[in-house]
Amino acid sequence: MKLQLLGGMTAREFLRDYWHKKPLLVRDAIPGFKGLLSPAKMKDLACSEGVESRLVRGGRHWSLGHGGPFRPADFSKLPRRDWTLLVQSLDHHLASGAELIERFTFIPRARLDDLMVSYAVPGGGVGPHFDSYDVFLLQGMGHRRWRISAQDDLDLVEGLPLKILKRFEVEEEYLLGPGDMLYLPPKYAHDGVAEDECMTYSIGFRAPAFQELGEGFLDFLHDELELPGRYADSELALQKHSAEIPKTMLAQIGEELEKVRWDAELVEAFVGRYFSEPKPDVFFRPPARPLGAKAFAARLAKNGLKLDSKTRLLFSGTQFFVNGEDFGATGPERRALMQLADTRALPPADYGEALTGLFHDWYTAGWAHV
């Protein structure tokens, strides 16, 4: 299917020709798109508890103000030019943000990170930089001038609180208006400067460093590890130097450690848990007066189920991963869960005792709603 969002390309063509490879400018990617919230509403969000926000001041000196929550007075003191306010995880705070991100599910959900919004006054931006992940930059209100470069020189200015490129050699320049979108592959140098009061929505992706994944995997293995027995040396021979570690000791321990092994199943469990784990600052809001099991089943049969916007539900074969936990499912239960994972909702129906019980637990934890 050809997608206006991708400039009339199919998702398959986009993945083949652009994803991770080269930038794509799409005029009118979302026709009529004016943005999801007003600057005033965005400032309100930046003043709320549990919302990650930052203020960046540009001009001659780059500075990263304190993070949120802000006070309304913080914004009234700012100059008329050269600053920008960023709010992270808009998809968690706004239903329309969660809906916007759904347009990008031609990329696996495990790779989707969050929707960030920036508000900038004229001249505002975060400076010439690169990101380590792919990004779709969708223009809402106003206009932003993007300058981009495929340069390999990614040296950063030292001693700044922000990642600012030491040298930036502009290769292409685009002025984006409401509904226009620019896709950039990882490490593509870019600088977006507000022409007028403007807002930009960034759909970002997760690309963890292998070091980070390795450390996470070792933590995971730690919990899974089972090495029975204890060091023993019934054949201990007298040695010349009492401080020398016996060779037999090294050999025996080495042999035991060789038993720390993993297989594809364990890797699957790790990857599923890792990518479905909500960020540490995510808190679910359980219902104040939750329905009991029976009332819940009736409501589920009448209204269906909707995942909370913060819930991450992924699967691999018959294994399902929800907010860092895993479980298996087969048959019609698996099919229902796959539908829920793909579309984030289930229509009204009787889902059987086991699934209804599971959904009730999720509902009680604030992970899903009926």
- Positions 50 through 89 that interact with ligand SIN (CB under 6 A): 84
Q: How far apart are CA 14 and CA 7, in angstroms?
A: 9
Question: Which C-beta is closer to Co ion: that of 153 or that of 215?
Answer: 153
128, 147 Cβ separation under 8 angstroms: yes
- The token pair at 347 is 């229509």
| DSSP helix, strand, coil percent of the chain (3-state; round to 5) | 30, 25, 45
User: Sign of dihedral through CA atoms 225, 229, 230, 235?
Assistant: negative
Q: Which DSSP helix (H) or strand (E) runs through 321? A: strand 319-322
- Positions 273 through 292 that interact with Co ion (CB under 5 A): none
Among candidates 142, 43, 35, 176, which has minimal Cα distance to 96?
35
Task: Calculate the CA 209 to chain-centre distance.
Answer: 14
- Positions 149 through 188 that interact with Co ion (CB under 5 A): none
89, 139, 202, 276: which one binds ligand SIN (CB under 6 A): 202
User: CB of 288: closest distance to ligand SIN in angstroms?
Assistant: 36
Question: Would you give the binding string for Co ion spanning residues 127-146, x where CB under 5 A is met?
Answer: ----x---------------
Applying CB under 6 A, what is the total number of residues that bind ligand SIN? 10
131, 134, 180, 308: which one binds ligand SIN (CB under 6 A): 131
192 binds ligand SIN (CB under 6 A): yes
Question: Which C-beta is closer to ligand SIN: that of 118 or that of 309?
Answer: 118
User: CB of 101: closest distance to ligand SIN in angstroms?
Assistant: 16
DSSP 351: -
The CA-to-CA distance between both ends of the chain, in Å, stands at 32
Question: Which C-beta is closer to Co ion: that of 127 or that of 179?
Answer: 127
Amino acid at residue number 362: W
SS3 38: coil
135 binds ligand SIN (CB under 6 A): yes
User: CB of 226: closest distance to ligand SIN in angstroms?
Assistant: 44
184, 149 Cβ separation under 8 angstroms: no
* Closest-approach residue to Co ion (CB): 131
128 binds ligand SIN (CB under 6 A): no
Interface residues toward Co ion, by CB under 5 A: 131
Interface residues toward ligand SIN, by CB under 6 A: 84, 118, 125-126, 131, 135, 190, 192, 200, 202
